[in-house]
Amino acid sequence: MTSNSAPARPPVTHKIDVIVQRDRQIGWMLTIPALLLLIAVFAYPIGLAVWQSFITKNLGTELQPQFSGIQNYIRMAQDGRFWQSLWNSVVFTTLSIIIEFLLGLGIALVLNQAFRGRNIVRTIAILPWALPTALIALAWTWIFNDQFGVVNDLLLRLRIIDSGINWLGNPTLAMVAVIIADVWKTTPFISILLLAGLQSIPDDLYEAHRIDGANAWQSFWQITLPLLLPQVVIALVFRFAQAFGIFDLIAVMTGGGPGGATEMVSLYIYSTVMRYLDFGYGSALVVVTFLLLVLAVAIAAYLLSRVRGSAQATDAR
Amino acid sequence: MTTQPLDRTPSPSKPSISWKQWALPLSVGLIVVFCLAPALWQLLTSFKTNEAIAAIPTVYFPSEFTLEHYQELFERRPFFNYMLNSFVVATLSTVLALGLGSPAAYALARLRLQGESILVGAILVVTLFPPILLFLGLLNVVQALNLGNNYLSLILPYAAINLPLTILVMRSFFQQLPRDLEDSAKVDGYSTVGLLLNIVLPLTLPALATTGILAFITAWNEFIFALTFITAEPMKTIPVAASQLGGASIFEVPFGPIAAATVLGTLPLVLLVLFFQRQIIRGLTSGAVKG
Amino acid sequence: MVLDLSRMQARLRDTLRRWKASIFSRIFSFAVLGLAITLALGLPSLTQQPVVISFLMLAPETPLFEPLIAEFEEQNPDIRIQMVEGPNAPNLVEDLNTSALLLGRSPYDLINLDVVWTAKFAAAGWLLDLSDRLSDEQLAAFLDSTVEAGRYEDRLYRIPWRTDAGLLYYRSDLLDTIGAAPPETFADMMEAAQTLQSETDVNWGYLWQGRQYEGVAAMFVEVLSGFGGYWIDADTLEVGLDLPESIEAVRFLLDTVDAGVSPPGVTTYQEEETRRLFQSGGAVFMRNWPYAIPILDADASPVQGMVGIRPMIGTPEGEGAGCLGGWGWGIVSSTPHPEEAWRVVEFLTSEAAQRQNAMQGYMPSLRSLYSDPEILATHPYFTDLFEVADNTVLRPNIAQYAQASDILQRYLSSALSGRMTPEAAMQAAANETRNLLGRFADRSTEEEPIEPVGSISSPATPLAASNLPVEPAPLTDSPDLSVTVTVKAEEPTPAIAPMPELPIAPSIAPSIAPFVEDVA
């Protein structure tokens, strides 16, 4: 997805082969340590999940592994709770990253302006991301309490409602509540990534554009967004992964309730493995979820590359 | 999408200036309220008496301030020690992530590696594996290597979790740097590594600081790994120590001490961010001068 | 603020420099410490060093054990106790113990077990069988239910060091104003609550825990018992969630909200939400654990001296009983020092140790201590607590309890939040629970393949109610307060015994059905 973003450029030097050769050697030397660390940490857990998904290992087998082929996968197809939690995760992830992206972009644009106390405001803007999730989720639970929560208190005082709303007790509102809490918590992640991107866009580009007679709106669409695209993509992909893997916030705020309406697939998997000790089945859940995520990102990457390909001609750079 | 028809644009510059005059302060104000309000709530709670915390209806601004929750925090536990532990773990893992990630990112951005797109894809795929599930597999590794109660069992996973973000973010910034700069530096006789250290990295300092802050915060607040792999009391990190705060029984939620721990646990992050904000600005202006 | 910060920045930078210098020495010293601990654990048999017995403890309870450990070590110079402080949350402590045990050689020799973990840990083979350690007379000193909760497949794995049980709190001052006695049944309670809500300015009648979490299961077994129903019979594995009694129980909970007796938010409450609302004077009745007694009676409490307690109430059809909680010791099967570990368990569950804990307000598992003059002098309410502690109902003592509980929690919460009707929710919960137990039985016995019985897989057929002669009536005719569970476990067994196997349909269709309909 980000792989083809290096603009095609004609070779400048006549010693191209030698230089490319040497660059590659150095390139590998620079890359391999990072790859080794990734492999050291990720290879075994991913491999283990794949292997265990083909065995049955639970209390029924006294935690001894028994090869069971694709039995776990068959069981999954009929597991209503899995599909429900997957759907919950999809709804939660989609809504929260769309809202976060719009908010985060807005915040980044504002923070990129010059104003007094900008440093302090930027620091404040990171604050929600810096607070520990589990502790802040506890605060949100009380903020949404029906009897003495701050949200209901404010709404009552403003005469918007006349009796307390049971936020976490209604399936839809509970989803809204956890999305609000998540948006608050993670918007800074997007806004500071985008802010860093905005800062690296040279001012003279806007200058030149203005001289050409463009206004702020046009600059935004023709300079800011295209140049910000790599950071936008990265922020969205990482938020996608984080939102799908969300755990603490939901566990503390609703525990997946009411009636499983906010149970995310990560909670279900964690319970299956750690609490039900159903390792084989839990691993199969991990594998399927993981593959679905990869598939989703791959499709998004494909669509993005097509959009970019067609927009290449009008690209600002 | 990128070409906007001219007739749809708002009219000339005079109204837009007056529009800007109130729009910027207003939006800054909204951002501050949005980000600060719930955090401020924790700050206030940490100074409230237990009666004020428990009171119904909610007491927004307490009439009486107390430091008892902070005292409680320090009385039974070496809370500064936990902060120090968190600091060590977060710093080392961040340094590791940036130190390994930036060179790799540069190589992937500029050095025409074979199979570059496959590598980037693989790195991306790894991020999609949720940390909570990563933990279940690492349990075996930590035990096999006897790394329990050893900070390596935190530093390496944290660094690895932060690596993909570091690599992809840094790569995107490296790709945006004007190539002529590097070409002329090479003509001046810089080696690739020298070029990276002396010219490219300073230019991408804002990006480095940003990913550094994100990585540091992730490591600072991580809970499950820290809870499971480090059980020796003097080695625990802040989130784990905070999870041990308690009332008289397991049912009671100690709101005061939790709020105090949240405040104390976040303060170093705030200071760090303030500190690095300056670096970001400085790097940016110096970069602009050079460029 | 700004000025302060810049000065702090400077100081931070300064401190940073000093920290950096010490980072490596710290890491090194930790490494040495780690090595030392490993050696200390691994080598005691070679040297004459004392054996170390280690366990994980919930953080708020470690102060309780410090004096006990000191006392034990003084009496037993050959044993050292290493208490590791875990988080202040049972589920996290469970996960930590699980992580440790999963890896084969556990760093812990003892486990402090919540009632509902015992079966799972025993089934996983992580616990030593303690059946022969105590004589029948010794066991008789404990409250029956606390011992019962430590058994799995007729073997004893857990010795209780404290118990816990749900109970009913009431505002004695408010009841006095209408001249009402503490209620005996749910109907009494509803009536008193509604009267007080209309005649006084108290907002709510009854508070209970209805969030989707373990607490809702604990609360529900009490109501179930009150309506004469049951959840899962641990011996026969019969599921009673779709019996009329169970549906009545759900209806009752819904009624409390519909009648305005309970706030709509009860379906999101855990213990603390109810306790705080009750403490602020907002309600007449509350279901909760005994932990709230000292808090409600503290000097700063607005309801100090106005609160009474009594055992959980029921209906004429079923006797009220409090859900059994509490903790006990199990010995890790892989410990190299089972004898030393047992000596620690003996000490920590002894009358002397439990007396000390009781003085701190923890409910002992030994009967005698509830009439102990020394304890009663400090905690007069222990007289009332005995009745609570001796009148309990157990959550099912089965290996897959965690999963069964999650099934109940989800569907009960679905019913309470209006996603499903009580009938549909309980039918689905019962079917899924049967599927779960069937799958487990299928794998562990590996004989008697389960026959698909077409008619039974249909969700429309209330399986147990129509097919099995289980009438939970016997509960009412046990006037003595002996444990409800034992009665329940013994009475229906003969009736069910002739039934060969539970007819469990492998079809999971019914379990998916509710998800289709709750899209609305």
What is the ipTM for the molecules in this complex?
0.85
Burial grade of C105 (CB within 10 A; 0-12, 13-18, 19 or more): exposed
pLDDT value at residue A84: 94
pLDDT of residue B15: 47
Domain range holding C418?
163-321+391-520
Whether residue B133 is found in the same domain as residue B176: yes
Instruction: Tell me the H-state helices in B111-204.
Output: 116-127, 131-144, 152-176, 179-187, 192-195, 201-203
DSSP label of C181: P
User: Which pair of tokens denotes residue A194?
Assistant: 């985008």
Q: Name the pLDDT band for C123 (thresholds 50, 70, 90).
A: very high
Instruction: Work out the widest C-alpha separation in chain A, in whole angstroms.
Output: 78
- Copy the structure tokens of residue C487: 């009665």
Per the CB < 8 A criterion, the answer to whether B92 and B212 are in contact is no
Neighbouring residues of A302: CB distance < 8 A, sequence distance ≥ 6: none
For residue B4, tell me if it sits in a domain: no
Q: Is the pLDDT of residue C478 over 50?
A: no
Asked whether residue C385 is domain-assigned, the answer is no
* Portion 118-137 of C in contact with A at CB < 8 A: 120, 123-125
Range of the domain at B112: 71-290
Q: Is C16 inside any structural domain?
A: no
Residue with the two structure tokens 């760093």:
C107
- As a whole number of angstroms, the distance between CA C469 and CA C484 comes to 19
Classify residue C26: in a domain, yes or no: no
Mark which residues 236-275 of C lie under 8 Å from B by CB. Answer: 271-272, 275
| B3 part of a folded domain | no
Other beta carbons less than 10 A from residue C391's beta carbon: 23
Q: Cβ neighbours of residue B128 under 8 Å, at least 6 residues apart?
A: A240, A241, A244, A290, A293, A294, A297
Do B275 and B201 lie in one domain? The reply is yes
How many Cα atoms occupy the beta-carbon half-sphere of B129 within 13 Å? 30
Q: CA A264, CA C473: separation in Å to the nearest integer?
A: 40
Query: pLDDT (tens digit, 9 = 90+) per residue, C379-408?
Result: 999 999 999 999 999 999 999 999 999 999
Is residue B250 pLDDT above 80, yes or no? no
Say which of A106, A248, A297 has its CB closest to residue B128. A297
Check CB contact of B266 with chain A, cutoff 8 Å. Answer: yes
Contact C440 A145 (CB under 8 A): no
How many separate domains does chain C show? 2
**Average pLDDT for C176-184:** 93
Residue B149: closest C-alpha in chain C: C34
Cβ(C200)–Cβ(C326) below 8 Å = no
Whether the CB of C275 is below 8 Å from some CB of chain A: the reply is no
Q: Please tell me whether residues B183 and B141 are part of one structural domain.
A: yes
Domain count for chain B: 2
Superfamily (CATH H level) for A80-314: MetI-like (1.10.3720.10)
Which chain C residue's Cα is nearest to A85? C515
User: Residue B105: which of A234, A30, A24 has the closest Cα?
Assistant: A30
A 234-263 residues with CB < 8 A to C: 254-261, 263
Q: What is the pLDDT of residue C452?
A: 39
Average pLDDT of chain B is 82
Quote the DSSP letter at residue A220.
Answer: I
Q: Are residues B219 and B101 in the same domain?
A: yes
Q: Which residue of B has its CA nearest to C279?
A: B54
Does residue B36 lie in a domain region?
Answer: yes
User: A139 and B57 in contact (C-beta within 8 Å)?
Assistant: no
For residue B54, the chain C residues in CB contact (below 8 A) are: 276, 279-280
Contact with chain C for residue A120, Cβ under 8 A: yes
Structure tokens at B131: 């940390």
Query: What residue in C sits closest to B50 (Cα-Cα)?
Result: C300
Q: Which of C120, C210, C508 is facing A59, going by the closest CB pair?
A: C120
Residue A132 C-alpha, separation from nearest chain B C-alpha, in angstroms: 5
Contact assessment for residue A214 and residue A127, using Cβ atoms and an 8 Å cutoff: no
Q: Is C89 on the interface with B (CB under 8 A)?
A: yes
Judge whether residue B238 has pLDDT over 80: yes
For residue A62, give the chain C residue with the closest CA. Answer: C124
Of B37, B66, B95, the residue that ends a domain is B66
Look at residue C166 and give its three-state secondary structure: coil
Torsion of CA B203, B207, B208, B212, to 10 degrees: 160
- The three-point CA angle B288-B289-B290 to 5° equals 90
- β partners of residue C331: C110
Query: How confident is the model over B89-146, as pLDDT tens digits?
Result: 999 999 999 999 999 999 998 888 888 888 888 898 888 887 777 887 888 888 888 8
- Co-location of C369 and C430 in the same domain: no
Q: For chain B, say whether C34 makes contact (Cβ under 8 Å).
A: yes
Residue C14: its pLDDT value, please?
A: 58
The amino acid present at C32, given as its one-letter code, is: V
Q: Please name the helix (run of DSSP H) or strand (run of DSSP E) that holds residue B250, with its range, or none.
A: none
Question: CA–CA distance from C264 to each of A84, A148, A158, A216, C267 (Å)?
Answer: 25, 13, 21, 50, 7
DSSP symbols for A14-82: TTHHHHHHHHHHHHHHHHHHHHHHHIIIIIHHHHHHHHHTTEE-SGGGTT--EE-TTHHHHHHHT-HHH
pLDDT at residue B112, as a whole number: 80
| C200 and C343 within one domain | no
Note whether residue C386 is domain-resident. no
Task: Find the CATH number of the domain harbouring C39.
Answer: 3.40.190.10
Is residue B138, in this structure, part of any structural domain at all? yes
From first CA to last CA, the distance across chain C in angstroms is 52
Strands C79-85 and C51-57: parallel
Of these ranges, A4-18, B215-229, C6-20, the one predicted with the greatest mean pLDDT is B215-229
Show the tokens assigned to B16. Answer: 């837009």
Which pTM value belongs to this model?
Answer: 0.83
CA distance C218 to chain B (A): 14
User: Distance from A241 to chain B by nearest Cα, in Å?
Assistant: 5
Structure tokens given for B49: 């008496």
Let me know if residue C467 belongs to a domain. Answer: yes
